[in-house]
Each structure stands twice: as structure tokens, then as C-alpha cells.
């Protein structure tokens, strides 16, 4: 094939125009594609047409590395040239450069963030708490728990145009997850801002008022995406964490309770090892997802702030599952999408994968309880499920409910995914680029990266369980009863279809 960058560019302009009902001259090839409002399903349609034209697979995050039609066309033309020069007729998918990203070099906390320049006023009963991520899944349950377990007003950083719509977003999210209680409405105060902007996008006056008002911070917000590279997520996740640490060190020193992730142990250096709460996590080689890379760097920044004298607690959840009583789940998360997608495909992969997932109420109540214990400062906690289950166990439970599913060898499952999840009504359709891409030198897919053979032998939660002993918090077992609750929520919400 001898397509030039200009050929590809013209082809893309005409395809995009057709897809979005625009004239070709209305499309500026130097404008980022997302300015045309291309959602992920539409991007997938464009990507699969391009794959047919080019004859090789494209990773979806290509659009974030080369966001304009011009840059994308140039990159694709380069790839065509490289492939035509290869003797072996390599027609594998386009490989993304892992761009020699040096995560250690990213670990830089602004020197002006100095906890010791302001007084430390620790309050047993904080009057004003700032929560980030209150429009998200965990954030809803954190707000509920804080409303119950403190008398404080809960200030919530929220992206919105004004205070009224910001408050509506928060209330609707609490309603969505069935934790809204009318009587608490007056204690929820929106703070309109954006983590990815300096000073959280607040005016200097509002920023200073907030810094004076807030007594303690729960930082749960993050951009969660499996496809975006580090560079795209850095502003919200890494620089956003830096802005939260900055706020904590202005006017008065405020404790920060940071929601991290067990993803910080994704480096292959931890394969087969037992990692505990107090172990250092200096290794980052082999962390492939941009999201996980941002979590690793962000927690490092929190550790630096701690070493400079900021009181912090760190909480590392595994996958967060639905509520253990109501079954309410985040139907947009990876677990739910995979479950629905595999049920629709009638096939689960036969892999050695342990589902380490903790119910959201266990995660939120543990974070709030642990953060309220003075001995928790400077410590990290693992909110792992103490007894994870094997994927095959989950598949058994689903099939006993009457779903027509089978377990098939992994490569066969990948082929089936390629051929059957071809329309946007299958949730795996948009996850396909993520699941099919070969991320590593050894050509491993994301699923293979998360198989037990590459994971730590154990992410120990012994010290966390010990710290929880004084409470009545117990992690509910991952058993048929719990999955029954999840499934009935997924059926009743219309997310899953009942067995006919
Ligand atoms: N879910 C899991 O399985 C899991 C596992 C381990 C760790 N965690 C960690 O747990 C935390 C909460 O996760 P989640 O599942 O609740 O995520 P989520 O449902 O996707 O919620 C993310 C929250 O972050 C907010 N956010 C993102 N970018 C922002 C920005 N630039 N400015 C202000 N707010 C922003 C979102 O606000 P908008 O509504 O405006 O987008 C939303 O409120 C995250 O730190 C995540 O890394 C999650």
C-alpha cells in the first residue's frame, strides 16, 4: 500500500464529515478531533474504518497521542512506510511508543508546598471537610459516611458552571447510588473548581477563604480511564494531587486523606512477592497503563508532602465493587462492563485471574474510620479483599443463574471478542482496543498483564485489618449471596437482561 499522509488526511476528513454530517471544508485538520464532539463509540467507528483501509490494528489511545487529523495522518503514513520496508510483512497492530517515560523524573513536588510554614491545628471534630470526587462512585459513599460519622459541613470540589448546578450534580449522584438523605442537604456545600487547573481554578480570594475554612481533606477525585496515556491524565491526577497538597499547606496545615490504588504495585518487580502496607513502592518498570502510572506518581507526591511534615493517611483500594447491602454498583466501571460483555458474548476467558474486589461501603467506611484514628497518620492502608475469589468461581455462580455461558481458552476468547463485539450495544466494543492491544515487549494483552503470574503473590492487608479491629467494620465475603445482590441490582436497573 502506498498511502501518503495527505491521502490519509483527505480520507479522514471525508469520513469524519460523513459521520458527523459536516462539509469537508468545515473540518480543520489542525484542530484536536475532540473539538468535533467525537464520542468514544464514534471514535471506534472511525478507527475500525481506518483499520480496514490500512490493514493493521490501531490502538484507541492513538487519538490522544496524535489528537489532530494532521498529526494522526503523518504518524499512520510513517507506520505504512515502516511496514512496507519490513521483510516479514509484519501486519500486527501499530505499536505505541512507551516513550521512555521516566516516572521517577515526574515525582517532583513544588518546593513552595511547605507544611511547616503554617500552623498545625488538628481538630478531633473537624467543622469543615473538603471532599474531592463527590460526583463519582466512591465519592458518594465517602460523603455519606462523613455526614454520618462527623458533624462537619462537607465542602465538595465539583466541576460545574455555578453553585446551583454543582449542588445538583452532587445530589443526583447521591440519589443514583441510593445514599441521598434529605436532612443532610444543608451540610453539602459545592465548591466549583477543577483539579487540573492551578489553584483548582479558584480565584485567589476564594482559594484563600477555602484554605482558611477547611480543617481536613479527603482526596478521592481522579480521572479513571484505561486508554488515555499518562500525558493526558497527568493534569487531573498528578498536578491535581499537587494542588490539593498545596491547599493543605496554605493558611493552616490540614490533614490529607488520599485515595490511592493497589495499582502502585503493578511493576513486575513485585511479581510473586508479598507486599505490605509499609513497604516502599519505588519500582515502576512494567506499569503500562497511563492511569496506573499517574496513581504511582501521585502517591509519591503525597509521600513527599508527608516527609515535609504534612499529616497524611493513604488508602489503597483494589477494584471497588457495589454496595454490600443494596447491591448498587457503578455500571460504567470495568467489572460491570466486562461482566455484561462476556455474558453477551456467551464466553468468559479461561485465565488464572483472582478477582480482588472490595464492596464500596467497606472501602468508604474503612477510609473514614482509619482517617479518624490519630495513630493512622503517615500510614498506608490496603483495602484489599482479605479473601479474593478466582474468576472461575464467579463464572460458576453466573451460570447457575441460568445464563448460557462457557469458559473458553484465552486466545479463542480474544478471537471471539474480535469478531463478535462489533457493535456499540456490546460494552466490550469500546474496550476492544484496550483488551486487544499488545502492551508489552512480550506482546502481552492487558488481561495477561493482570493475570496472577505477573501479580504480587499477595498484597497483604494484615496491618489494615488490625487497625480496623476497634471498629465494627468487616469486609463482606465475596460469596454467592453478595453476587446475588449485585446481580439483582444489575437486573433491576436494566443493565443486565434477565435469563429468558
Ligand atoms: N473504582 C475503582 O475500582 C478504583 C480502584 C482503586 C482506586 N480507585 C481510586 O478511587 C478514587 C475514586 O474512584 P471512583 O471509582 O469513585 O471514580 P469515578 O466514579 O470515575 O469518579 C471520579 C471523580 O473524580 C472527579 N474528577 C475527575 N477529574 C476531575 C477534575 N479535573 N476536577 C475535579 N474533579 C475531577 C470526577 O468528577 P466529574 O464527575 O466532574 O467527572 C468524579 O467525581 C480514584 O482516586 C481512583 O483512582 C478506584
Contacts of 146 (CB under 8 A, 6+ apart): 129, 131, 152, 154, 218, 368
Query: Ligand 1 pocket, 137 CB below 6 A?
Result: yes
Phi-psi region of 232 (alpha: psi -120 to 50; beta: other; left: phi over 0): alpha
Contact 321, 476 (CB under 8 A): no
The domain spanning residue 259 has which CATH number? Answer: 3.40.50.720
Q: What is the domain count for the chain?
A: 2
Which residues lie across from 349 on neighbouring strands?
408
In testing the pocket of ligand 1, which one of 222, 242, 367, 459 has its CB within 8 Å of the most ligand atoms? Answer: 222
Q: For residue 138, which atom of ligand 1 is closest to its CA?
A: 16
Pairing of strands 389-390, 354-355: antiparallel
pLDDT of residue 256: 98
Using the mean position of ligand 1's atoms as its centre, give its distance from the Cα of residue 74 in Å: 34
- Residue whose cell numbers read 463509540: 41
- Picking from 141, 61, 135, 144, the residue whose alpha carbon sits closest to that of residue 95 is 61
Whether 48 is covered by a domain: the verdict is yes
121 lies in the same domain as 73: no
149 lies in the same domain as 273: yes
Query: Ligand 1 pocket, 157 CB below 6 A?
Result: yes
Query: Ligand 1 pocket, 213 CB below 6 A?
Result: no
12 lies in the same domain as 141: no
Give the span between the Cα atoms of 154 and 143, in whole angstroms.
7
Query: Ligand 1 pocket, 176 CB below 6 A?
Result: no
- Picking from 340, 450, 440, 435, the residue whose alpha carbon sits closest to that of residue 60 is 435
Whether 450 is covered by a domain: the verdict is no
Contact 161, 247 (CB under 8 A): no
pLDDT of residue 87: 55
Contacts of 362 (CB under 8 A, 6+ apart): 324, 383, 473, 474, 475, 476
166 lies in the same domain as 239: yes
Contact 92, 57 (CB under 8 A): yes
Q: For residue 134, which atom of ligand 1 is closest to its CA?
A: 43
Atom 1 (ligand 1) nearest CA: 320
For residue 428, with 0-12 CB atoms within 10 Å meaning exposed, 13-18 middle and 19 or more buried, which class applies?
Answer: buried
How would you write the pLDDT of the chain (500 residues) with one tens digit per residue?
578 889 999 999 999 888 888 898 889 988 877 777 776 667 777 777 888 888 887 776 677 677 788 888 888 888 888 777 765 555 555 555 555 689 999 999 999 999 999 999 878 899 999 999 999 999 999 999 999 999 999 999 999 999 999 999 999 999 999 999 999 999 999 999 999 999 999 999 999 999 999 999 999 999 998 777 888 889 999 999 999 999 999 999 999 999 999 999 999 999 999 999 999 999 999 898 889 999 999 999 999 999 999 999 999 999 999 999 999 999 999 899 999 999 999 999 999 999 999 999 999 999 999 999 999 999 999 999 999 999 999 999 999 988 999 999 999 999 998 888 777 778 888 787 788 877 777 888 888 988 888 899 999 999 999 999 999 999 999 999 999 999 999 999 999 998 87
- Enumerate the H helices of 310-455 as residue ranges: 334-345, 360-371, 391-400, 410-420, 428-436, 446-449
- Picking from 283, 288, 354, 364, the residue whose alpha carbon sits closest to that of residue 323 is 364
Helix (H, G, I), strand (E, B) or coil at 66: coil
The domain spanning residue 62 has which CATH number? Answer: 1.10.1200.10
160 lies in the same domain as 256: yes
173 lies in the same domain as 239: yes
* Domain carrying residue 220: 114-325+359-388+458-476
Query: Ligand 1 pocket, 359 CB below 6 A?
Result: no
Using the mean position of ligand 1's atoms as its centre, give its distance from the Cα of residue 333 in Å: 11
How many CB atoms within 10 Å of residue 213?
A: 16
Task: Please tell me whether the overall predicted TM-score, pTM, comes out greater than 0.85 for this model.
Answer: yes
238 lies in the same domain as 170: yes
57 lies in the same domain as 171: no
Contact 458, 386 (CB under 8 A): no
136 lies in the same domain as 201: yes
Give the span between the Cα atoms of 257 and 220, in whole angstroms.
8
Query: Ligand 1 pocket, 220 CB below 6 A?
Result: yes
Chain centroid offset of residue 325 CA: 24
pLDDT of residue 60: 62
Whether 168 is covered by a domain: the verdict is yes
Whether 246 is covered by a domain: the verdict is yes
Contact 237, 268 (CB under 8 A): no
118 lies in the same domain as 81: no
Query: Ligand 1 pocket, 136 CB below 6 A?
Result: yes
Contact 437, 93 (CB under 8 A): yes
pLDDT of residue 64: 65
Using the mean position of ligand 1's atoms as its centre, give its distance from the Cα of residue 439 in Å: 24
Helices (H), strands (E): how many in the chain? 19, 15
How many CB atoms within 10 Å of residue 371?
A: 23
- Picking from 115, 94, 125, 409, the residue whose alpha carbon sits closest to that of residue 244 is 115
Query: Ligand 1 pocket, 371 CB below 6 A?
Result: no
Whether 340 is covered by a domain: the verdict is no
Using the mean position of ligand 1's atoms as its centre, give its distance from the Cα of residue 169 in Å: 14
How many CB atoms within 10 Å of residue 282?
A: 10
73 lies in the same domain as 118: no
- Residue whose cell numbers read 511547605: 114
Query: Ligand 1 pocket, 331 CB below 6 A?
Result: no
Contact 286, 268 (CB under 8 A): yes
Give the span between the Cα atoms of 321 and 310, in whole angstroms.
31
Whether 33 is covered by a domain: the verdict is yes
Q: Tell me the three cell numbers of residue 171.
A: 445530589
Distances (CA, A) of 437 to 155, 175, 412, 423, 469: 41, 37, 15, 18, 43
Q: Which of 37, 64, 85 is the last residue of a domain?
A: 85
Whether 249 is covered by a domain: the verdict is yes
118 lies in the same domain as 75: no
Using the mean position of ligand 1's atoms as its centre, give its distance from the Cα of residue 208 in Å: 25
Q: For residue 321, which atom of ligand 1 is closest to its CA?
A: 3
Atom 46 (ligand 1) nearest CA: 222
Contacts of 385 (CB under 8 A, 6+ apart): 318, 356, 357, 358, 475, 478
Whether 103 is covered by a domain: the verdict is no
Give the span between the Cα atoms of 341 and 335, in whole angstroms.
10
Using the mean position of ligand 1's atoms as its centre, give its distance from the Cα of residue 408 in Å: 33
Amino acid at each position: 500500500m502506498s498511502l501518503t499522509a495527505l491521502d490519509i488526511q483527505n480520507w479522514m476528513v471525508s469520513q469524519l464529515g460523513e459521520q458527523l454530517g459536516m462539509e469537508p471544508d468545515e473540518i480543520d485538520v489542525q484542530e484536536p478531533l475532540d473539538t468535533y464532539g467525537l464520542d468514544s463509540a464514534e471514535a471506534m467507528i472511525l478507527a475500525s474504518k481506518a483499520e480496514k483501509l490500512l490493514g493493521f490494528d490501531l490502538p484507541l489511545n492513538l487519538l490522544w497521542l496524535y489528537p489532530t487529523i494532521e498529526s494522526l495522518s503523518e504518524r499512520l503514513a510513517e507506520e505504512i512506510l515502516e511496514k512496507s520496508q519490513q521483510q516479514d510483512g509484519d501486519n500486527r497492530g501499530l505499536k505505541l511508543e512507551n516513550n521512555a517515560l521516566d516516572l521517577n523524573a515526574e515525582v517532583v513536588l513544588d518546593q513552595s508546598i511547605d507544611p511547616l510554614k503554617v500552623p498545625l491545628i488538628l481538630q478531633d471534630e473537624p467543622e469543615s471537610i473538603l471532599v474531592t470526587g463527590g460526583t463519582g462512585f466512591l465519592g458518594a459513599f465517602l460523603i455519606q459516611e462523613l455526614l454520618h460519622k462527623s458533624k462537619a459541613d462537607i465542602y465538595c470540589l465539583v466541576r460545574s458552571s455555578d453553585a446551583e448546578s454543582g449542588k445538583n450534580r452532587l445530589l443526583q449522584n447521591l440519589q443514583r447510588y441510593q445514599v441521598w438523605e434529605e436532612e443532610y442537604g444543608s451540610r453539602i456545600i459545592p465548591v466549583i473548581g477543577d483539579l487540573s487547573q492551578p489553584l483548582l481554578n479558584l480565584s485567589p480570594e476564594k482559594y484563600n477563604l477555602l484554605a482558611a475554612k477547611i480543617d481536613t481533606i479527603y482526596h478521592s477525585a481522579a480521572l479513571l480511564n484505561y486508554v488515555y496515556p499518562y500525558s493526558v491524565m497527568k493534569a487531573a491526577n498528578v498536578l491535581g494531587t499537587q494542588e490539593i497538597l498545596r491547599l493543605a499547606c496554605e493558611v493552616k496545615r490540614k490533614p490529607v486523606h488520599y485515595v490511592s490504588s493497589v495499582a502502585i504495585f503493578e511493576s513486575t518487580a513485585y511479581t510473586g512477592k508479598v507486599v505490605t502496607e509499609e513497604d516502599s513502592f519505588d519500582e515502576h518498570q512494567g506499569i503500562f497503563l497511563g492511569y496506573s502510572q499517574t496513581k504511582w506518581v501521585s502517591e509519591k507526591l503525597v509521600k513527599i508532602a508527608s516527609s515535609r511534615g504534612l499529616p497524611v493517611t493513604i488508602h489503597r483500594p483494589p477494584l471497588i465493587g457495589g454496595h454490600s447491602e443494596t447491591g448498587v454498583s457503578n455500571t460504567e466501571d470495568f467489572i460491570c462492563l466486562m461482566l455484561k460483555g462476556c455474558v453477551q458474548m456467551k464466553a468468559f476467558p479461561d485465565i488464572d485471574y483472582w478477582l480482588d474486589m472490595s464492596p464500596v461501603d467497606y472501602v468508604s467506611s474503612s477510609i473514614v474510620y482509619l482517617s479518624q484514628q490519630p495513630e493512622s497518620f503517615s500510614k498506608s492502608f490496603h483495602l484489599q479483599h482479605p479473601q479474593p475469589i478466582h474468576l472461575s468461581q464467579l463464572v460458576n455462580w453466573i451460570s447457575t443463574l441460568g445464563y448460557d455461558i462457557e469458559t473458553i481458552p484465552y486466545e479463542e476468547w480474544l478471537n471471539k471478542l474480535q469478531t463478535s463485539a462489533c457493535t456499540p450495544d456490546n460494552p466490550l466494543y469500546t474496550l476492544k482496543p484496550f483488551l486487544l492491544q499488545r502492551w508489552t515487549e512480550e506482546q502481552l494483552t492487558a488481561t495477561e498483564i493482570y493475570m496472577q503470574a505477573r501479580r504480587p503473590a499477595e498484597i497483604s492487608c494484615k496491618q489494615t485489618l488490625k487497625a480496623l479491629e476497634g471498629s465494627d467494620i468487616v469486609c463482606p465475603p465475596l460469596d454467592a449471596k453478595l453476587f446475588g445482590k449485585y446481580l439483582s441490582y444489575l437486573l433491576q436497573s436494566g443493565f443486565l437482561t434477565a435469563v429468558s
